[in-house]
Amino acid sequence: MIRHLGFLLVLIAFSTSCSNSEKTCTANSDCDSGQICDAGTKSCRALSGSECTAAANCIGASNNCVGYVAAGTGPGKCQCGSTGAICTGTDNACVSGTCQAGRLVFTSVKSYLSGAAYTPEGTSFASVSDADKLCQDAANGATPNKLNGIWMAMIASDTSSAYTRIQSRILYDHPVILNTPAGTATKVFSESLSALLTDPPLVGITFTENKTPTGQFAWTGAVNFNDVASGLNCANWSSKSANLSVNMSDPAMSPIPANWFSNGSATQLCSSASANLYCIQVDQ
């Protein structure tokens, strides 16, 4: 009887350990910091480069915590998949245990005014296409190195949401990552562009085209990423009248709310507002 009871206790302990190592979920908010909810398996998995103090913290991304020696020595980093890679270079995002190419996103260094037409390297825009050109200028002029590719602004128009505008220009739904400095861990903004339709970002867009930290507000023009502008976009970006309001987003919000695209539905007057742009790479 005692032997059977001992076996039962061991079985219970083993089951508990397994259930804790890979937490079930339906949304990213169900997971611990540094993890996301895998839509396919409905389980939490760690991101490559996430801090860890044991291999169990990295279930899903890998089974290996690199660089952790002992308590008090600082955390290690989760590797990606069974090969033990920490994702860097071109394939810089860990998805389902493999390193894949990530799509960059940044908050512009410059702030801009609505209501005046684009001029090269200028500080104003009067349409979403003008804003796209400003993002392209920012990427082309980035330091220490130019950011290659085609860039668009994450803003809405009267007829298209930011998501629809961007989604129509991409071929593959790659992970979206911040433009972090060389030698630092990859920060995944979202597992994919489409994931932003159901989940808020994993982190705010807190780095610029120059890889410098920022907390500047950005123009968006809509409450949600997949919303067409609802009158809160400075007359489709053509005006800076004191009678008009606009939606903006705060990249430093913590925790990040579901309506992150409008800073909890906060608005500013178009006449007094000067804000930056969220810029995203679209040709990958």
Alpha carbon distances (Å) from 110 to 13, 210, 247, 274: 56, 11, 18, 10
* pLDDT band, residue 14 (cuts 50/70/90): very low
Tokens for 84, please give them.
């033990």
Residue type, position 66, single letter: V
pLDDT digits (tens, 9 = 90+) for 117-127: 999 989 999 99
Residue with tokens 């907390």: 215
pLDDT digits (tens, 9 = 90+) for 106-161: 999 999 999 999 999 899 999 999 999 999 999 999 998 898 888 999 999 999 99
* Displacement of CA 162 from its chain's centroid (Å): 15
Using alpha carbons only, how large is the chain's radius of gyration in Å? 22
21 pLDDT above the threshold of 90: no
pLDDT digits (tens, 9 = 90+) for 23-36: 787 776 777 766 66
Q: On the CB side of 209, how many CA atoms lie within 13 Å of its CA?
A: 28
CB 85 within 8 A of CB 48: yes
Residue with tokens 């939490």: 44
Distance CA 113, CA 244 (A): 13
**Strands of the 278-281 sheet, one edge to the other:** 151-153, 278-281, 103-107, 176-178, 188-190
Distance CA 93, CA 72 (A): 28
Distance CA 225, CA 176 (A): 14
Which runs of E-coded beta strand occur in 12-64?
35-38, 43-46, 51-52
